[in-house]
Structure 1
Amino acid sequence: MGTTMKKRMTGLIAFGLIASTILAGCSSSKEGDTGTGTDGKKEEQITLSFETSLYAEAPHKKAIDSLISKYNEKNPNVKITVHGADYENFWDKLTTEVIAGTQGDIVQVYPENIATYNALVDGGAFLNLDTYLKGKELETKLVGQELSKVDDSYYAVSNYAWGTTGIFYRKSLFEKANIDPATVKTLDDFKAAAAKLGVDTNGDGKLDQYGFASVVGSHPFVASEWYRLIARPVSGGIYFPDGEAGPYTADRINVNSDANVWAAKWWQDFINDPKITPPGTRDKKVGREMFWNGQAAMNMDGPWFIGMTQERDQALMDDLGLLPQPAITYEGKEYKPNPHNNPSVAMISKKSKNADEAWKFLEWMTTPEAQQIIGGSGMIPSNKDYVATEEYKNNNPLAVQFFEFQENLYAPAVMDPPIPEQGTLSQIMVNTAQEMFIGKKDAKTSMDDAAGKMKDAIK
């Protein structure tokens, strides 16, 4: 772990976060007898805690509650409690818990988070899962499982769902503006459509509909929307070149490359167009609400947004369309989008007193029975066999389009670097994006500053 990262993690504790974040029942426990096993004997009550950032969102809460309820029917002696926070606050909270040793028995993260959080404790905070996965069927049948490694060992299982990003649009607003969605193929097409969609709908001289609900605020999406959509496809990597490949050394920091600086300037011009992006600071939640309310015609999101829209208002589903991320022309060459695959993966804490029971639950989540429940979250379930069924395809036509985009239109996905310092690098990028896209600071100056900070972080 880099010196900068250690200082940041220590600082979190010093700010008094521990008291507010320690989980109630954070490690598994046994609570006497309950239920009856197949042999007629009473079984010990086992409690497991499950920690996730997804639980704050209604469709995920519904899916996770249903999973736990179904599992408890089959295993009445196992009680699973859920703890979480919204995405923006979850990660600092988890940092404090891991350092204090109070994290949940099961912790759900993304592949790029595994190395960072495992390295917060000497010797690692989470269990090596090779005995459960290596050489077993699950190693190859789960989307994104290969991304869950640290030093060639598995520390998480990709047992929930995954997604990549596309551009959702309101069909009615496109039709009113006389825009054929099939013609929006390139970055220039996307910008032209977004500008055309920004209009004064009530004739009071003020814009009340905008083209694109971009994030311009404190949420990490202030950086990731920009680099997933534009920068990373043309530069090969925000943090390191060649698809965020190693060696992960200071001399290979790529953030201030010419392509990334060009992409930052393009995004500054794009979001500063009053027809495209509404003025003022806003986060992802506000942008989604603007889309649902018809105040924004487009929103960048993943398949989870399908479930969120359905939960918000079933009637909106008939007006929900999906575009792939656009192709980009830079210095005369066309680049395909390469949005990263975003599976939710689960780790087991070394502090867990019932790791085998935690694994049994995580393994059950990969079954068709559980994957069908997970499909209700709007995300694409991780089990490749289940998603390949005609039943799934027929019931989830919008989600299936994400498969088609990846197969026909997208370059191979580029993931964040799987290194312990990634949390620090990501925060530097978020801070830099805020400078450029909210503070309107010169892109080259900001990116050069970011490069220096990133080099210090990984020395």
Structure 2
Amino acid sequence: MSKWMKLSTVMLGISLIATACGGANNNNQPAATPGTGDNNVEKVELTAWAWNVNVGALNEAMTMYQKDHPNVSIKVEDIGRLDVYDKLSTGLAAGGSGLPDIVLVEDDRIQGYLEAFPKGFQNLSDKGFDAKADQFPAFKKELTSKDGKFYAFPFDAGPTGMFYRKDIFEKAGVDATKIETWDDFLAAGQTIKSKTGAYALPADKFKDDANFRMMMNELGVYYFDKDGNIDFNNPKVVQAMATLKKFGDADLVKDVNGWDGIVSATVDGSVATIPFGAWYYGTIIDQAKDTKGKWGVFLLPAFEKGGNRAANLGGSSWMLNADSERVDAAYGFMEYFSTTSAVQAVAMEKFGLFPSLQSTYSEPAFQADNEFFGGQKIWKLFGDEMANIPTPYYTKDYAMAMDEAVKAQAHVFMDKDPAKALKEAAERLADRTKRAVNNG
């Protein structure tokens, strides 16, 4: 899950819990696994590591699972996102010592863990997960697999959109439905700024590159290509950075300080749009309660008319400890959790976790009008987007790549040529990755 999910809260206004908790439409429940379904079988307590709202989602799912598997329970430790990774890395380096049965891992870290600890996680394909894989969008399947084998149960995702203030657009006389490309949005942003004073969008110019990542993903490129090669010099990567520079040059980007700065700009109306993952909905309804009815969402603008407008920002999946003595029971529960639409609908409604399971998009919650967003069917918009999201390719060097991309972005906002800034970033990243290999 993205770090931005920290302040996301319970979604409001959709009445699905009663149906979901009643077990309706649960056609994907797996056959009982040894140690899970028979009242005469020994009781099994699974252990898991997660953080924030994911803890509640897992516990809620277990409550539903226990209706048919009363001998299974779970103990979920909420130990914080970064603490999970510290403890996970330490345990894997020690051969699996002290690890839980189940652990939540953000999608941008999965490939790095699989590369560094190839025997640390259960091969889910060996347990039969391949038969369930087509229930998820292509990009999520690629992020959770390696060499054709699945190692993680796809969970939440972050389909992107432009959360926008309808009242600000209306005051400026701008029709959001007419915005199809980034050039359209640039022109609209200039009109909005001149007539209302609001910036087009926020960015932490010198510490985070979320807008750049969304733009790259939309173009089907990222820090690395499919083979793991540094891709900063790709013309499409340069195009994304150059487009962001246009907004900076036009003084349409409000420089904010981290997450708190984005939230403040959301609340005070100093920005007309916030490009983010679907999960940002929770922050808006929690932090900007007085703006109910003043919001709308449209897809990211395309780079050319008729071009792709789908991208993803954030998301996480569940992995199993390969050395667990309860791996069969853990697999049975997690297969149920990840492939049961009613369970995933509850995770979205109660905890704001946008599901990757495609069958969930036919649940009533995804067809409902959203009152806070003026009756717009925002969840249908995000659900329809999922199938078109290109895969962002991560490696174990993702953190270093992001660091260098942020430096390049900072230089570009200070008027350096995008191609030159990215070329220099690629050279720095190549040097750092080489030194990392040499150092062991």
Superposition TM-score tier, normalisation by shorter sequence: 0.7 to 0.9
* Contact 2:223–2:232 (8 Å) recurs in 1: yes
Match of 1:288 in 2: 263
Q: Following the alignment from structure 2 to structure 1, what is the Cα–Cα distance between the partners of residues 100 and 74?
A: 13
Q: Secondary structure at the match of 1:268?
A: helix
Q: Measured at CA, do residues 176 and 421 of structure 1 come closer, stay the same or move farther in structure 2, by a change above 3 Å?
A: same
Q: Measured at CA, do residues 67 and 314 of structure 1 come closer, stay the same or move farther in structure 2, by a change above 3 Å?
A: farther
Q: Following the alignment from structure 1 to structure 2, what is the Cα–Cα distance between the partners of residues 172 and 62?
A: 35
1:190 aligns with 2:185: yes
Q: Following the alignment from structure 1 to structure 2, what is the Cα–Cα distance between the partners of residues 147 and 154?
A: 9
Q: Measured at CA, do residues 148 and 263 of structure 1 come closer, stay the same or move farther in structure 2, by a change above 3 Å?
A: closer
**Identity across matched positions, percent:** 22
| Superposed displacement of residue 322, structure 1 | 0.6
Match of 2:318 in 1: 346
Q: Following the alignment from structure 2 to structure 1, what is the Cα–Cα distance between the partners of residues 237 and 394?
A: 21
Match of 2:27 in 1: none
Match of 2:102 in 1: 106
| Superposed displacement of residue 435, structure 1 | 4.2
Match of 2:300 in 1: 325
Q: Measured at CA, do residues 180 and 362 of structure 1 come closer, stay the same or move farther in structure 2, by a change above 3 Å?
A: same
| Superposed displacement of residue 181, structure 1 | 1.0
Q: Secondary structure at the match of 1:394?
A: coil
Q: Following the alignment from structure 1 to structure 2, what is the Cα–Cα distance between the partners of residues 382 and 406?
A: 8
* Contact 2:299–2:310 (8 Å) recurs in 1: no
1:449 aligns with 2:435: no
* Contact 1:341–1:415 (8 Å) recurs in 2: no
Q: Following the alignment from structure 1 to structure 2, what is the Cα–Cα distance between the partners of residues 313 and 75?
A: 42
| Superposed displacement of residue 150, structure 1 | 0.7
Matched residue type, 2:101: D
| Superposed displacement of residue 215, structure 1 | 3.2
* Contact 2:171–2:195 (8 Å) recurs in 1: no
Q: Measured at CA, do residues 423 and 394 of structure 1 come closer, stay the same or move farther in structure 2, by a change above 3 Å?
A: same
Q: Report the TM-score, using the length of structure 2 for normalisation.
A: 0.74
| Superposed displacement of residue 360, structure 1 | 2.9
Matched residue type, 2:175: D
Q: Following the alignment from structure 1 to structure 2, what is the Cα–Cα distance between the partners of residues 69 and 417?
A: 35
Q: Secondary structure at the match of 1:114?
A: helix
Q: Secondary structure at the match of 2:201?
A: coil
Q: Which among 54, 79, 85 is matched to residue 80 of structure 2?
A: 85
Of 100-109 and 177-186, the range deviating more from structure 2: 100-109
Q: CA RMSD in A?
A: 3.6
Match of 1:156 in 2: 152
Q: Which among 255, 261, 265 is matched to residue 238 of structure 2?
A: 261
Q: Which among 210, 214, 226 is matched to residue 245 of structure 1?
A: 226
Deviation string, structure 1 residues 115-140 (Cα, Å, up to 9, x no partner): 2012223x43211111333443x222
Q: Which among 329, 354, 372 is matched to residue 357 of structure 1?
A: 329
Flag structure 1 segments of 5+ consecutive residues without an equivalent.
1-36, 202-206
Q: Secondary structure at the match of 1:380?
A: coil
Match of 1:25 in 2: none
* Contact 1:214–1:271 (8 Å) recurs in 2: no
| Superposed displacement of residue 63, structure 1 | 4.1
Match of 1:381 in 2: 355
Match of 1:401 in 2: 381
1:228 aligns with 2:214: yes
Q: Measured at CA, do residues 95 and 449 of structure 1 come closer, stay the same or move farther in structure 2, by a change above 3 Å?
A: farther
Q: Following the alignment from structure 2 to structure 1, what is the Cα–Cα distance between the partners of residues 319 and 407?
A: 28
Q: Secondary structure at the match of 1:373?
A: helix
Deviation string, structure 1 residues 311-344 (Cα, Å, up to 9, x no partner): 4455645222011111224xxx974335248653
Match of 2:30 in 1: none
Q: Following the alignment from structure 2 to structure 1, what is the Cα–Cα distance between the partners of residues 200 and 211?
A: 15
| Superposed displacement of residue 111, structure 1 | 3.8
Q: Measured at CA, do residues 157 and 262 of structure 1 come closer, stay the same or move farther in structure 2, by a change above 3 Å?
A: closer
Match of 2:280 in 1: 305
Match of 1:26 in 2: none
1:214 aligns with 2:196: no
Q: Measured at CA, do residues 97 and 189 of structure 1 come closer, stay the same or move farther in structure 2, by a change above 3 Å?
A: farther
Matched residue type, 1:179: V
| Superposed displacement of residue 405, structure 1 | 4.5
Q: Following the alignment from structure 1 to structure 2, what is the Cα–Cα distance between the partners of residues 90 and 179?
A: 45
Q: Measured at CA, do residues 404 and 381 of structure 1 come closer, stay the same or move farther in structure 2, by a change above 3 Å?
A: closer
Match of 2:115 in 1: 119
More relative contact order in 1 or in 2 (CA 8 Å, sep 6+)? 2
Match of 2:45 in 1: 46
| Superposed displacement of residue 65, structure 1 | 5.2
Match of 1:9 in 2: none
Of 397-406 and 146-155, the range deviating more from structure 2: 397-406
Q: Following the alignment from structure 1 to structure 2, what is the Cα–Cα distance between the partners of residues 228 and 300?
A: 9
Match of 2:401 in 1: 425
| Superposed displacement of residue 190, structure 1 | 1.0
| Superposed displacement of residue 266, structure 1 | 3.4
* Contact 1:106–1:347 (8 Å) recurs in 2: yes
1:368 aligns with 2:341: yes
* Contact 2:159–2:310 (8 Å) recurs in 1: no
* Contact 1:232–1:260 (8 Å) recurs in 2: no
Q: Measured at CA, do residues 447 and 306 of structure 1 come closer, stay the same or move farther in structure 2, by a change above 3 Å?
A: same
* Contact 1:142–1:384 (8 Å) recurs in 2: yes
Q: Report the TM-score, using the length of structure 1 for normalisation.
A: 0.71
Q: Following the alignment from structure 1 to structure 2, what is the Cα–Cα distance between the partners of residues 294 and 72?
A: 46
Q: Following the alignment from structure 1 to structure 2, what is the Cα–Cα distance between the partners of residues 145 and 257?
A: 24
| Superposed displacement of residue 187, structure 1 | 0.8
Q: Following the alignment from structure 1 to structure 2, what is the Cα–Cα distance between the partners of residues 223 and 313?
A: 24
Q: Secondary structure at the match of 1:381?
A: coil
* Contact 1:139–1:145 (8 Å) recurs in 2: yes
